[in-house]
Amino acid sequence: MDTPEQPQIYLITPPTITLSTFPDQLARVLDSTEIACIRLALAGNDEDTIARAADACREVAHTRDVALVISNHVLLAQRLGLDGVHLDDGARSVRYVRKELGADAIVGCFCGTSSHDGMSAGEAGADYVAFGPVGTSSLGDGTVAELDLFQWWSEMIEVPVVAEGGLTPELIRDLSPCTDFFGIGDEIWSQDDPAAGLNDLITAMG
């Protein structure tokens, strides 16, 4: 049996970022290791604040050929030239957003612990589904997405899967054989050196 390829890193921004420092932090992380995609996951709905943050992050990401998606803001994704949208409402909006953004956009969604939601999202045209939290985290309603969900998904479903929320080196080691992406955010941004923190987590993949 072939050894599965190592999962890729899907970087998630903090809910609030400081424009004077975060783009440099982000650049250092992107320069330290290969990142598949970045999700701009800002709290609040102030479009001006989000647009300024998106512009700054897009510049850093696109200079390095890394895709940037935004949580939920479909219209902003179009307006700001971002690569797609990550939806927090499971499969509900996938079909509509796919139609709005077109075939080339990245459309993914968070499905908590629901394999049914995940399958519905895949059928509606999602490029990936995210399950979580996998550890202690305030993500979703806090119900943990267990290892067996990822094992089942990786055996039965072709749509790529993201494991996120409360990742630890131990969880990364356990989940590496059965996930395509690790959604890493809070785990590193609270550290003095996010790039080093990310490297420690990547090392756990083995």
* 4 has a pLDDT exceeding 80: no
Buried b (16+ CB within 10 A) or exposed e, 111-123: bbbbbebbbbbbe
80 in a domain, yes or no?
A: yes
* 88 has a pLDDT exceeding 70: yes
pLDDT in tens, 29-38: 999 999 999 9
Residue 117: CB partners within 8 Å, gap ≥ 6?
90, 91, 111, 129
3 in a domain, yes or no?
A: no
Query: Rounded to an integer, what distance in angstroms lies between the CA atom of residue 69 and that of residue 11?
Result: 10
User: For residue 193, what is the domain's CATH number?
Assistant: 3.20.20.70
Residue 140 banded pLDDT, cuts 50, 70, 90: confident
26 in a domain, yes or no?
A: yes
Give me the pLDDT at residue 100, please. Answer: 95
- Boundaries of domain holding 45: 8-203
2 in a domain, yes or no?
A: no
The number of folded domains in the chain is 1
89 in a domain, yes or no?
A: yes
160 CB-contact burial (10 Å; exposed 0-12 / middle 13-18 / buried 19+):
buried
Q: What is the mean pLDDT of residues 130-159?
A: 95
* 2 has a pLDDT exceeding 70: no
Tokens of 142: 């806090």
**β-pair partners for 163:** 131, 182
148 in a domain, yes or no?
A: yes
124 CB-contact burial (10 Å; exposed 0-12 / middle 13-18 / buried 19+):
middle
Q: What is the mean pLDDT of residues 93-111?
A: 97
Residue 1 banded pLDDT, cuts 50, 70, 90: very low
- Whether residue 133 contacts residue 165, with contact meaning beta carbons closer than 8 Å, is answered with yes
* 3 has a pLDDT exceeding 70: no
1 in a domain, yes or no?
A: no
55 in a domain, yes or no?
A: yes
